[in-house]
Amino acid sequence: MQPDQTVRFFGGENIPLEMHKVRVVQKLSLPPIENRLTAIQDAGYNTFLLKTRDVYLDMLTDSGTNAMSDAQQGAMMQADDAYAGSQSFERMQTAIREVFGKEYVLPVHQGRAAENILARSYIKAGNLIPMNYHFTTTKAHIDLNGGRIAELLYDEALILRSDNPFKGNMNIDKLRAVIAREGAKNIPFIRMEASTNLIGGQPFSLENLKEVRKVASEHNIFIVLDASLIGENAYFIKQREKAYQNASIGDILREMCAQADIVYFSARKVSSSRGGAICTSNKAIFDYLKVLVPLYEGFLTYGGISVREIESIAVGLYETLDESVIGQSPSFIDYLARQLDVGGVPVVMPPGGLGCHVDAMKFLPHVHQKEYPAGALTAAFYLASGARGMERGTMSSVRDENGNDVLSDVELLRLAFPRRVFTLSQTKYVEDRMKWLYSKRNLIGGLRFVEEPSVLRFFMGRLEATSDWPEKLVKAFRADFGDSL
């Protein structure tokens, strides 16, 4: 099914419509490719270390970069600055109760802060956490507290180009086998991630989540739902799961959350530019977790979040129920992915949430995973376009006890689409430059680390090119585009 914000033009092309008008703008610049080469070299070929003055389109992430609505901006003006007992928190708590259906709320400054509290509270050395797929910060918190993870996807989820609508589903047979092997007492909780980030923003079905709930209840194991992209997951359920095509986004969201004992989210993705929360309807869970919030975050009614952001979170949560809001990014992602797919560029299909994901191993089959093809492609695309994407592959992985790279299941360049930020002309520019880069793909080589942090190395690590391929790419660009930026 096509996203419902896509219309057919007279010439036959399906085009996504912006369901908003622009009222505040921010100036952009597009540096010449020679300047981009200097910038990416200075950044150690790590797009996280680029300066925004050197970036035309910032597609690094949707975290904290979504456009805020006029209603959110207006709500921020009524913020209650009280350290304790803030009315702003009461409004956020009410929104979470109505949107997610969870009674108790613990505010935190962002999603990984919630992961820290959950990991410290529940994970002991040797514990195992089954999940549909890991996220980088989640795995780091579990590792640091002595736990392990078990990724329980269906095998076909890693077939990047397919017609499987729910690649984020947890394999129920694998889940039962893990519980039988480990014992329920060694499994503090099962984690489900709404719209699995690292395999292309792929959703799970509500039917699958209910099956996970059934197994968890049989063994008295908690379910923890990472709801950072729950709106997009709910949107895909409505689009792709027949039983819910006539359900509202609100009904789907509440039914999803009803399956989980604990829901946590990063408001940087869900509704605002900062903040997050842990939510539950279980008073015992709430009381157990709340003692760590004042220690690591702030008092229970602000949790390290600006009260202005708390006001915007409350409004943004309600806006998540609006399909014209929540469907904006998926419709543009769908458009770009399908245009690239038609042009022969290998992308994750069907398109997911968060961003358009390019399959770096098929794009650069000549670059070995130990030379970080997704990282190389991300750097090369910045050179070609001035657009900053994010590597989601072996650079984002870790090393084993012998110092060898743990090779990622997939190597992806993620081009994030923050909500209501980019225009169609900018999207078509990205499409054009990606198609050009694909035509020059044999010029692109690998990368190697020269500075490598031991934890979350993809954030701060620096690399260098394994040859002079960046200079060759610049030369090819000038040969084809002349003086154009």
Tell me how far apart the terminal alpha carbons of the chain are, to the nearest angstrom: 37
Measuring CA to CA, which residue among 181, 130, 125, 136 is closest to residue 151? 130
236 is catalytic: no
One-letter amino acid at 346 equals P
Tally: H helices and E strands in the chain: 20, 16
204 is catalytic: no
Supply angle C-alpha 247, 265, 305, rounded to 5.
130
List 191, 238, 269, 457, catalytic entry? 269
Measuring CA to CA, which residue among 57, 58, 56 is closest to residue 32? 56
269 is catalytic: yes
189 is catalytic: no
List 204, 286, 382, 458, catalytic entry? 458
Query: Which residues have C-beta within 8 Å of that of residue 180, sequence separation ≥ 6?
Result: none
Let me know: does 132 contact 174? Beta carbons within 8 Å.
no
Let me know: does 437 contact 387? Beta carbons within 8 Å.
no
334 is catalytic: no
Distance CA 370, CA 359 (A): 16
226 is catalytic: yes
Distance CA 354, CA 61 (A): 8
List 226, 261, 334, 359, catalytic entry? 226
List 392, 414, 433, 457, catalytic entry? 392
One-letter amino acid at 124 equals K
List 83, 288, 459, 481, catalytic entry? 83
166 is catalytic: no
Secondary element (H or E) of residue 285: helix 283-290
Let me know: does 102 contact 279? Beta carbons within 8 Å.
yes
Positions annotated as catalytic residues are 83, 135-136, 226, 269, 392, 458
